Amino acid sequence: MPFSYVSHLTCPKCKRTYSVRKKQQLCFCGSPLLVEYQLEELKKNLSPTDIGEREPSLWRYHELLPIKSADHIVSLGEGMTPLIPTPKLGRNLSIPNLYIKDEGTIPTGSFKARGAAVGISKAKELGIRELAMPTNGNAGAAWALYAARADMKATIVLPVDAPTITRAECSISGAKLHLIHGRISDAGKIVAQMVAEKGIYDVSTLKEPYRIEGKKTMGIEIAEQFNWKLPDVILYPTGGGVGLIGIYKSFKELQNLGWIQGRLPRLVAVQSTGCAPIVKAWKEKKNSSEFCTNSTTVAFGINVPKALGDFLVLEAIYQTDGCAVAVDDDMMLQEQKRVASLEGLFICPEGAATIAAARVLRENGWIQEQETVVALNTGLGLKYPNTVQIDTPVLLED
Amino acid sequence: MPFSYVSHLTCPKCKRTYSVRKKQQLCFCGSPLLVEYQLEELKKNLSPTDIGEREPSLWRYHELLPIKSADHIVSLGEGMTPLIPTPKLGRNLSIPNLYIKDEGTIPTGSFKARGAAVGISKAKELGIRELAMPTNGNAGAAWALYAARADMKATIVLPVDAPTITRAECSISGAKLHLIHGRISDAGKIVAQMVAEKGIYDVSTLKEPYRIEGKKTMGIEIAEQFNWKLPDVILYPTGGGVGLIGIYKSFKELQNLGWIQGRLPRLVAVQSTGCAPIVKAWKEKKNSSEFCTNSTTVAFGINVPKALGDFLVLEAIYQTDGCAVAVDDDMMLQEQKRVASLEGLFICPEGAATIAAARVLRENGWIQEQETVVALNTGLGLKYPNTVQIDTPVLLED
């Protein structure tokens, strides 16, 4: 039985196909590429019960990942993050069956580790030695650290306003770190120039096809953790949107395998009112988004003015009868505090945005009381210590 | 079959016994208490293979934990942290079979979550509503967050020099946070006074008997992850020493269950040259340590001038033919950087101390080249961002 059932790459726009044996970036038409698997073959050879005893990492799903040989895996033990019942928060929201999938409990402290682990492993399999990327912080930290583990050179370009802790993560890994005045879109332009000049591998969001495969394991885990019966709603903080695209892709694959039945969860893209291009596009029933100028939000990870995969995010929303919601920074920070004090989870502002959105959607009736709802916390709150107000008396030693 | 095989509490010094049905602190004689289990009964009813398919948290070992009813569990999904092979670092150290057990990948970002999860769960089972503790940061953060989840009031007393991020964790949980000028020993005096005045539960290190039960799961996990064949050496950064005591206790229990055979791993207590009371006691072949004055180290978690459980730490070292080693801050920070750049793990200074100690012990021949060695990284490096020097040019947007 093969380690991976990966087949080839397909362009979701123009339907061109590409080999997974060579380095690929975007399609000739400019679209991101998606990985295809031999699902009919896999269906005959594997069932969910085979997976139960495997190690608690995302590599338990290796048949559905693009790495052909276990020897190429670059892992820090990422995946199988806790799916945490949050009944007190749920009562507060009138959503008693509320869960938080906690992506803080993962190497590098954010869900970006999934994309980095699979992306770097595939890059290793392809013989790649050097890469570059723009980032809002967490992705750069994750890719820099996994690149170090894989003996690859990494160049990371980061807005100067991004959480400063992520600089330490990039720097200690030995990566080349550049700070810029501007947003991730500006950082992206600098990387594009480097890549064009030096021919190094561009691992910007969706410019290589494998990060999404790492992210999709969040969807598979949610399915497995609910014993292959999916929840009604999943809320996801949406910047580049790779996680949402990945979760949707995983559910389609699990449907094809016959591992899940029935309606898919309604997928909700949550954005900040300070940067909500997907919400605007969804409200206007469009299939792509417009560049959001002067974007700003405390949830730095979702400050993405224009996502390359916007059309895939919108497709996932439309196909699952989902929606897109924007919440403001104050709402996020209030929920961040409430989640910590009620449930003991110190989530990041992006994760808190999903709770704020759940509140809005419950209040307007889009979420029903009896529904099972999963909110994705994409990382550790402690990467953003400045979002917490501390008012503490200093006692003198007596 | 009972959920827990907990039996009673015993004093390791004077052998008095106590019930697990009531709140207990120290023994009348002043010693910490240890939890005993009905291991002979458990041996008949459970085998390692029964555990294989359970959820990947420390609660997979619930029979060996002191909580009698699953209803009382307060969990954020803690445990089954990755055991990460570090072959490049191992080659650098001439210890090819070197592993890092990564306790950064756990809720609240440090191994303190284990003690808090089990300690708070047992406190809930006992009906406790309020607690207080001194801390060097990570324990306070963990106990504050788990207490919030359990609807308990928490008072945390923290040295003003402790990592500032842990203040945010305590504060956002809703705990009452006090900062003091001084060390954890000074914080401990303030807590003792509060406890005496108000009668609240004192969850200082080893002053309640259950934290150690959470910590011991590191030992059980190491055994399970090595398929119940133990490594030769385990290095542990030692402040209060609860983890080392717990790991030793778990191995004795697994021996009694017949789940492990042969020699136990040699346990190594690693301290900072700026605070090394256990190392001094071990060198002098004593059974207890002396208070270390003017202690200081960048590895704040192990700045503990005098551990209440020093005699238990020393017993674990003597009984396993282990040793105690002090390393200085520069050595730690060098290893911290090396581990990140070679293996992609951003470990904390305390964790890095174990690597520095492994280097010393390999160089002086105490560790042999072919031995299997586990170094415990007790938490996330990113809780100590100031330990990383960042030298980055700021590019201007063009």
- Interface check B194 vs A, CB under 8 A: no
- Cβ of B77 within 8 Å of Cβ of A106? The answer is no
For B180, the closest of A147, A172, A397 (CB atoms) is A397
What single string gives the DSSP state of each residue in A18-50? E-SSS---S-TTSPPPEEEE-HHHHHHH--HHH
- Cβ of A394 within 8 Å of Cβ of B180? The answer is yes
CATH code reported for the domain at A83-107+212-386? 3.40.50.1100
List the one residue out of B247, B242, B246 whose CA is nearest residue B205.
Answer: B242
Q: What is the DSSP code (8-state) at residue B105?
A: S
Interface of B with A in 53-92 (CB under 8 A): 53, 56-57, 74-77, 80-84, 88
Chosen from B172, B394, B397 to mutate, greatest number of chain A CBs within 10 A: B172
Chain A residue whose CA is closest to B146: A344
List the one residue out of B153, B76, B81, B89 whose CA is nearest residue B116.
Answer: B76
pLDDT at B396: 58
pLDDT at A53: 84
Q: Please provide residue A264's backbone torsions phi and psi, each rounded to the nearest 5 degrees.
A: -75, 155
> B7: distance to nearest CA of chain A, Å?
30
Contact A130, A156 (CB under 8 A): no
Cα gap B223→B260, rounded to integer Å: 8
- Cβ of A171 within 8 Å of Cβ of B389? The answer is yes
pLDDT at B385: 85
In sequence order, what are the beta bridge partners of A395? B180
Q: pLDDT band at residue B390, thresholds of 50, 70 and 90?
A: confident
> A317: distance to nearest CA of chain B, Å?
30
pLDDT at A242: 97
Contact B165, B105 (CB under 8 A): no
CA distances from residue A163 to A167, A367, A382, A384 in whole angstroms, order as listed: 8, 33, 10, 6
- Cβ of A172 within 8 Å of Cβ of B396? The answer is no
What single string gives the DSSP state of each residue in A217-284? HHHHHHHHHTTT---SEEEEE-SS-HHHHHHHHHHHHHHHHTSS-SPPPEEEEEEETTB-HHHHHHHT
Chain B residue whose CA is closest to A155: B392
Q: pLDDT band at residue B188, thresholds of 50, 70 and 90?
A: very high
List the one residue out of A5, A9, A13 whose CA is nearest residue A24.
Answer: A9
Contact B33, B27 (CB under 8 A): yes
Contact B77, A84 (CB under 8 A): yes
Contact A203, A211 (CB under 8 A): yes
Long-range contacts of B188-191 (CB under 8 A, 24+ apart): B188/B134, B188/B157, B190/A395, B190/B134, B190/B157, B191/B132, B191/B133, B191/B134, B191/B155, B191/B157
For B105, the closest of A105, A147, A172 (CB atoms) is A105
Examine the pLDDT at B3 and tell me if it is beyond 90: yes
**Encoding tokens for residue A183?**
């947003």
Contact A91, A106 (CB under 8 A): no
Secondary structure element (H or E) that encloses residue B270, with its range: strand B266-272
pLDDT at B176: 95
- Section B311-320 average pLDDT: 98
Chosen from A51, A172, A221 to mutate, greatest number of chain B CBs within 10 A: A172
Which chain B positions have a beta carbon within 8 Å of A150's beta carbon?
344
B265-289 pLDDT, tens digit per residue, is 999 999 999 999 999 999 999 999 9
* CB atoms near residue A132 (< 10 Å): 25
Chain A residue whose CA is closest to B167: A390
- Cβ of A76 within 8 Å of Cβ of B84? The answer is yes
- Dihedral over alpha carbons A380, A129, A56, B6 (to 10 degrees): -70
- Section B20-46 average pLDDT: 97
CA distances from residue B114 to B107, B138, B214, B230 in whole angstroms, order as listed: 9, 11, 5, 21
pLDDT at A389: 83
- Which 3 state secondary structure label does DSSP give B338? helix
Cα gap B205→B241, rounded to integer Å: 9
Domain boundaries, chain B: 83-108+215-386
Secondary structure element (H or E) that encloses residue B282, with its range: helix B277-283
Q: Is A296 exposed, middle or buried (0-12, 13-18, 19+ CB in 10 A)?
A: middle
> B262: distance to nearest CA of chain A, Å?
26
Which chain A positions have a beta carbon within 8 Å of B385's beta carbon?
164-165, 168
Contact B114, B137 (CB under 8 A): no
For B77, the closest of A74, A102, A169 (CB atoms) is A102
How many beta-carbon pairs under 8 angstroms link A with B?
206
pLDDT at B13: 96
What single string gives the DSSP state of each residue in A125-163? HTT--EEEEE-SSHHHHHHHHHHHHTT-EEEEEEETTS-
Mean pLDDT of successive 10-residue stretches along chain A, which has 398 residues: 97 97 97 98 96 94 98 98 98 98 97 98 98 96 98 96 91 94 92 93 97 98 98 98 98 98 97 98 98 94 95 98 98 97 98 98 98 98 87 66
The ipTM estimated for the assembled molecules is 0.95
- Any idea what the Cα angle at residue B276 is, between residues B272 and B278, rounded to 5°? 130
Angle between helix B112-125 and B138-149 (nearest 10): 40
Examine the pLDDT at B397 and tell me if it is beyond 60: no
Q: What is the DSSP code (8-state) at residue B127?
A: T
CA distances from residue A165 to A287, A390, B114 in whole angstroms, order as listed: 36, 18, 25
- Interface check B12 vs A, CB under 8 A: no
- Which 3 state secondary structure label does DSSP give B36? strand
Interface of B with A in 141-170 (CB under 8 A): 145-151, 160, 164-165, 167-169
Examine the pLDDT at B90 and tell me if it is beyond 90: yes
Which chain B positions have a beta carbon within 8 Å of A146's beta carbon?
344
Contact B101, B374 (CB under 8 A): yes
Q: Please provide residue A18's backbone torsions phi and psi, each rounded to the nearest 5 degrees.
A: -140, 160
**pLDDT averaged over chain B?**
96
Helix/strand number for chain B, H first, E second:
13, 14
Contact residues for A291 (Cβ-Cβ < 8 A; gap 6+): A185, A277, A305, A306
Contact A339, A86 (CB under 8 A): yes
Angle between helix A165-172 and B329-343 (nearest 10): 80
Reply yes or no on domain B83-108+215-386 having CATH 3.40.50.1100: yes
Interface of B with A in 35-54 (CB under 8 A): 52-53
**Encoding tokens for residue B297?**
């180290």
Contact B89, B29 (CB under 8 A): no
Which chain B positions have a beta carbon within 8 Å of A180's beta carbon?
394-397
- Cβ of B102 within 8 Å of Cβ of A389? The answer is no
In sequence order, what are the beta bridge partners of B84? B100
pLDDT at A396: 59
For A382, the closest of B83, B165, B393 (CB atoms) is B165
- Interface check A392 vs B, CB under 8 A: yes
Chosen from A105, A153, A347 to mutate, greatest number of chain B CBs within 10 A: A105
| DSSP β-ladder status, B233-237 and B201-202 | unpaired
Contact A299, A348 (CB under 8 A): yes
**Encoding tokens for residue B69?**
């009813």
pLDDT at B386: 84
Q: Which residue has the tokens 């993405």?
A: A304
Examine the pLDDT at B388 and tell me if it is beyond 90: no
In sequence order, what are the beta bridge partners of B376? B101
- Cβ of A382 within 8 Å of Cβ of B382? The answer is yes
